[in-house]
């Protein structure tokens, strides 16, 4: 039971991180100090996608699921949880680079908008 709860907590943390990298820049509009956390998170997320690395949370969750006698999954977190709802086929290298590019473009746009707003006031 402990391992299942721990694996679920890691999955929740992972989902939170993904959402934070995508939309956390919008929180910076209200709380500027969040940029100190958000910018490194975005850099990490973009590097993971561009370099084809595996997020360390993925094997941790897989190990916890295996230790709890649950069926683990192969591949990455995004492959298992996110892509089945977004894409019908498995992720390939080009798609991973595209996702990193989208993450980068979204955040450049958000921070560009934030800088524009700051300069307007």
Residue 72 has pLDDT above 60, yes or no: yes
Which pLDDT band, with edges at 50, 70 and 90, does 91 fall under? confident
Phi, psi of 113 (to 5 degrees): -65, -40
Work out how many domains the chain is built from and give that number.
1
Closest CA to 102 of 118, 72, 78, 119: 78
Q: What pLDDT, in 10s, does the model give residues 14-58? A: 889 999 999 999 999 999 999 999 999 999 999 999 998 888 998
Structural domain for 92, as ranges: 2-120
The span from the CA of 89 to the CA of 12, in Å, is 24
> How far is Cα 91 from Cα 79, in angstroms, rounded to an integer?
6
Nearest CA-CA partner of 52 in 71, 74, 75: 75
Lowest mean pLDDT among 5-9, 74-78, 100-104: 74-78
Q: In the predicted model, what is the mean pLDDT of residues 89-109?
A: 89
């Amino acid at each position: 039971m402990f391992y299942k709860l721990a694996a679920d907590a890691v999955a929740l943390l992972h989902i939170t991180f993904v959402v934070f990298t995508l939309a956390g820049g919008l929180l910076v509009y209200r709380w500027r100090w969040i940029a100190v956390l958000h910018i490194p998170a975005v850099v990490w997320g973009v590097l993971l996608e561009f370099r084809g690395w595996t997020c360390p949370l993925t094997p941790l969750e897989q190990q916890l699921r295996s230790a709890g006698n649950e069926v683990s999954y192969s591949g990455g977190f995004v492959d298992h949880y996110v892509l089945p709802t977004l894409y019908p086929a498995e992720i390939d290298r080009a798609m991973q680079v595209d996702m990193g590019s989208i993450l980068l473009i979204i955040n450049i746009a958000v921070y560009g908008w934030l800088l524009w707003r700051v300069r307007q006031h």
